[in-house]
Structure 1
């Protein structure tokens, strides 16, 4: 009688996946990353091309706009066009533009007579301060209110919150900003003027007083951005969480004796975050762009106001450079969101 031996059981690895599975998962993720990087590169190329041709169909002659109100001969206008390269054929202007842009040279501003890159660097901190603060506030507010509205959907609080959000979302930001200026800066009826009408600082404060002065100037523009911006995050989070609330895993969690708050916090909300992550990263992409209308209404010295000034000429190198920065920030944030997806949901990218 031949003795039979029982084969020893293979000990599973610590992460529960076989080596081939782990290797295949890594390779799949790397392919996923490569595809997203290629897509981002194509998008940047499209932005480069669009940024050149888009602003050349804007009405207006940059040279005549810069010499407006001053007697200028035809010879002087021709000399300015030669100086700015506007007398060259369009294809040659495009080739020069692409060559400089790929090396990081965004050109020289027509109206400010300074490198576009330096102008953007000077104005960027003000925009990051204003819109960065607003994005953090309205993203957190939207996530919190969206979660509460979905968990208590159909209640009077849900209807009120959703109704207010939809109303504010439909309001033009510049119009709301003007209303806030009239009411809280100029003063209307019994409401006295409490905040500055525009600008970033009064110019006569230092130290902690300067920080308080800047914060005082930020109240109305941040309130405008938050009032208009939080609704989108709220509605996306609410819709995503409502889709998750019928899941069997939530019933199982309740059957195990977990409290309702724990079920929401530990199980429902993490699974509902994926669509909202996209929204949060898109909002972060808007930080670099700022809000052109809000910065213009409140005379905020950021990139949005700079873009408005450049577009009014039109200052072609400046609007092209700002367009590339705005679009590049959005592409980068979308790329980061895409790369984060597989970490939140392993099914993505497999």
Structure 2
């Protein structure tokens, strides 16, 4: 090749005749960018749909928030009209909708009817309590589900596997609020020889400071966390067990055993990392639920989190607060699902190509 020909080939665009070939790494990077852009775009559309749906959905709830704000007192028609003007309830529905969308896109979720405070402030106030409860439960039931799921799959068909899967299926099918009430009856109120060991509800007894306050909160945390772990660990166990069973017949495990590796080492280093790929999506979905909280469990145990706040707002109905909480709940799940979709190709390169 002459010098002029070499110079022309080097200056030609990648992929053009005579130009340098685009490497597999560049093609993989471009493919991942297209994949990621599609997922992020889908998440944005979903968030917009949630924003629009939440406005109309909760206006189907029966009840007049203005009458709730009067506290059942006898008020004149002029006073009711003044309340409606104050919160914009006298405007046509389409004007309320456009005002809601305009404010929501700037981060303003409105003002709560019952608390007379910005919705975002009420959410920020209750969010740490929800994260403490559901975050603690998330760590425990994820670790427990993965541990028991791997052991059940590796010794599938045995007594331990049958007991683990049977118990997981039973607890997973129990309504969380019913299990919470049962735990309150047995371990808070006391039943027969079992004395009341834990508080019936709330997050703290009050009047405690320092380390005593931490212990008091942990004491109140036990029963709601046990409720969430008991109901939710079974899902992680079953998904992990199923994925590991699919991997156990693979040739690479047979090769690892043929090299003389111990059975426990084959499971930990080879089988489990590959089997955990489906579990990653489930973990991120559950991680999104830690923000949403569990409405029924927080209500049963009077836990001052987002779930209890949502139930309280529904009873009015406090439309701005309900809409804001619904959007936050849905956004947390959508964002976590999108993160799972973005991380999955990094764990399994076959995804997204």
Q: Deviation of residue 246 (structure 1)?
A: 1.2
Partner residue of 1:219 out of 190, 209, 222: 222
**Structure-to-structure mapping, 1:3-42, within 5 angstroms:** 20-42=23-45
* Alignment partners' CA distance in 2, 1:228 and 1:196: 21
2:324 is aligned with 1:321: yes
Superposed CA offset, 1:30-50 (max 9, x none): 111101110110110111011
Superposed CA offset, 1:319-343 (max 9, x none): 0000111011001111111111011
2:298 is aligned with 1:295: yes
Q: Deviation of residue 58 (structure 1)?
A: 1.0
What is aligned with 1:254?
Answer: 257
* Alignment partners' CA distance in 2, 1:214 and 1:100: 37
What is aligned with 2:66?
Answer: 63
What is aligned with 1:114?
Answer: 117
Partner residue of 1:133 out of 133, 136, 139: 136
What is aligned with 2:236?
Answer: 233
Q: Deviation of residue 312 (structure 1)?
A: 0.4
Q: Deviation of residue 66 (structure 1)?
A: 2.1
Structure 2 spans left out of the alignment, 5+ residues: 1-20
Q: Deviation of residue 128 (structure 1)?
A: 0.4
How many residues align? The count is 333
Out of 130-139 and 78-87, give the one that drifted further: 78-87
* Alignment partners' CA distance in 1, 2:42 and 2:259: 45
2:156 is aligned with 1:153: yes
Partner residue of 2:211 out of 183, 208, 211: 208
Partner residue of 1:83 out of 83, 86, 97: 86
What is aligned with 1:176?
Answer: 179
Q: Deviation of residue 177 (structure 1)?
A: 0.4
Out of 215-224 and 264-273, give the one that drifted further: 264-273
The 3-state SS of whatever aligns with 1:284 is helix
CA-based RMSD: 1.0
- TM-score normalized by structure 1? 0.94
Structure 1 spans left out of the alignment, 5+ residues: 1-17
The 3-state SS of whatever aligns with 1:300 is coil
Q: Deviation of residue 19 (structure 1)?
A: 6.2
* Alignment partners' CA distance in 2, 1:19 and 1:182: 68
What is aligned with 1:5?
Answer: none
* Alignment partners' CA distance in 2, 1:249 and 1:66: 67
**Structure-to-structure mapping, 1:303-318, within 5 angstroms:** 303-318=306-321
Superposed CA offset, 1:102-155 (max 9, x none): 000000000000000000011111000000000010000000001101111110
What is aligned with 1:3?
Answer: none
2:344 is aligned with 1:341: yes
* Alignment partners' CA distance in 1, 2:130 and 2:259: 49
Q: Deviation of residue 67 (structure 1)?
A: 2.0
* Alignment partners' CA distance in 2, 1:45 and 1:85: 23
Superposed CA offset, 1:58-112 (max 9, x none): 1111112222421112221121111111111111111001000000000000000
Q: Deviation of residue 56 (structure 1)?
A: 0.6
Partner residue of 1:276 out of 273, 276, 279: 279
